[in-house]
């Protein structure tokens, strides 16, 4: 299935030992496939929002994967440490850009810790927290609906 690009994986970021112990995370190239499967399996009901978070994460991951395939990004990783951000984007110059994704009103605390930890110039928050793209300090906030057009 991976060769058909229905799914793709994201590797863990960290020391060799940590990364070795963590599994790869798999995502669908199209979030609608995941939504359809969840609906068929009875795990998704339109009136419930509990599965929108994983679907939003899948949407962002698939967009980043497409950017990586086009050479815009060098790599997509996820932190091996629990309780951190959802993704770490690797640029060609070696800079790491932390990304947090959420459906609810996400806090910027996790993202700010990751920016400091990875010595990043900025981080990206994709959520419903804001209705417009805005930059507050070193955090760029992008509304989920706006991001979905990328």
State whether residue 141 is helix, strand or coil. strand
- Enter the pTM of the model: 0.88
Residue 97: which of 77, 69, 81, 83 has the closest Cα? Answer: 77
Distance CA 146, CA 72 (A): 19
Q: Largest Cα–Cα distance of the chain, in whole Å?
A: 44
Query: What is the full per-residue pLDDT of the chain (150 aa) written as tens digits?
Result: 556 678 999 999 977 776 678 899 999 998 888 777 777 777 776 666 677 888 899 999 999 999 999 999 999 999 988 888 999 999 988 899 999 998 876 678 899 999 999 999 999 999 988 889 999 999 999 999 999 987
Report residue 58: phi and psi, to 5°: -65, -40
Cα separations in angstroms, 37 against 6, 27, 42, 103: 13, 13, 9, 20
For the chain, the first-to-last Cα distance in angstroms comes to: 25
Q: Containing H/E element for 134?
A: strand 134-136
Please give the pLDDT value at position 129.
81
């Amino acid at each position: 299935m991976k060769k058909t690009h229905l799914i793709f994986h994201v590797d863990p970021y960290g020391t060799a030992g940590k990364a070795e112990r963590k599994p790869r995370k798999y995502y669908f190239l199209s979030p609608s496939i995941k939504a359809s499967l969840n609906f068929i399996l009875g795990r998704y009901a339109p009136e419930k929002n509990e599965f929108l978070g994983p679907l939003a994460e899948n949407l962002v991951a698939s967009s980043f994967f497409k950017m990586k395939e086009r050479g815009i990004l060098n790599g997509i990783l996820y932190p091996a440490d629990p309780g951190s951000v959802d993704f770490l984007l690797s640029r060609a110059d070696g800079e790491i850009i932390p990304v947090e994704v959420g459906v609810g009103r996400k806090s910027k605390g996790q993202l700010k810790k990751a920016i400091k930890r990875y010595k990043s110039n900025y981080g990206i928050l994709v959520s419903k927290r804001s209705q417009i793209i805005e930059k507050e300090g070193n955090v760029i906030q992008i509304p989920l609906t706006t991001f979905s057009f990328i």
